[in-house]
Amino acid sequence: MKYLIISDIHGSLPALDKALEFYREQKCDMLLILGDILNYGPRNGLPEGLDPKGIAERLNVMADNIVAIRGNCDSEVDQMLLSFPIMQDYALLVDEGKKLLLTHGHLYNKSNLPPGRFDYVLQGHTHLYELSRLENGTVVCNTGSITFPKGGRVPSMAIYEKGKITLYSLDGDILQAE
C-alpha cells in the first residue's frame, strides 16, 4: 500500500486540494490524516480558503480510503460533518509487518509514546516537519502542516510505502527521505 500522510489542514480547502492532487498523481491507496482537520485553532490566523464544509465534502467522498485520528483542534462537532472516524487519540496501522503509530502529537509523540513497540511514529501538531530515528531504531516522521508551517518551513506532507518515508513540500518537492 502507498499512503499519503497529512496533518494540520486547519480548514484550508486550497491546501487540501493541492495535497489531494498530489495523492492522485502519486497513485496513493490511502490517506492518513494526523488531526486538526476542520478548525483553524484560536492561536492561528485565518487560513487561505477557510472552508470546513468544503473540506468535509472532499474527504467524505473518499471516506473508505481514509484513516484519521483526533488533533487538539478536532471535536465532536467536527465528527458530525465527517463520514469517517476521527475521535481516537491514536491508531495503530500494520503494513507488511511494520507497525505504524498514528498520533497528532499533543498527547503522544516521540517523547511520550503509548505502550508498545513501533517501527514508525507518524505525528503532526508542531507544524515543523521532521524525519529522524530514535535510539531504539523507531523512525519518527512529523509531517508538519500543509496550511500553517512554522519555523520558516514550507507546507509539507509525507508518503509511506514499503518501509520508506519521504517528506515532500506541498508543491511536490522532496524535502527528506528515510
Q: What is the enclosing helix (H) or strand (E) of 59?
A: helix 52-61
CATH number at residue 8: 3.60.21.10
Supply the pTM of this predicted model: 0.97
Q: How many domains does the structure of the chain reveal?
A: 1
23 is in which domain, residue-wise? 2-177
Q: Which of 158, 152, 153 is nearest to 176 (CA)?
A: 158
Tens of pLDDT, residue by residue, the chain (178 residues): 999 999 999 999 999 999 999 999 999 999 999 999 999 988 888 999 999 999 999 999 999 999 999 999 999 999 999 999 999 999 999 999 999 999 999 999 999 999 999 999 999 999 999 999 999 999 999 999 999 999 999 999 999 999 999 999 999 999 999 8
Please check whether residue 169 is in contact with residue 158, taking contact to mean a CB–CB distance below 8 angstroms: no
Distance CA 65, CA 119 (A): 22
Q: For residues 40-78, b (16+ Cβ closer than 10 Å) or e, as one string?
A: beeebeebeebbbebbbeebeeeeeebbbbbbebbeeeb
Q: Which of 55, 22, 52, 14 is nearest to 143 (CA)?
A: 22
Q: What is the enclosing helix (H) or strand (E) of 133?
A: strand 130-133
Distance CA 51, CA 162 (A): 34
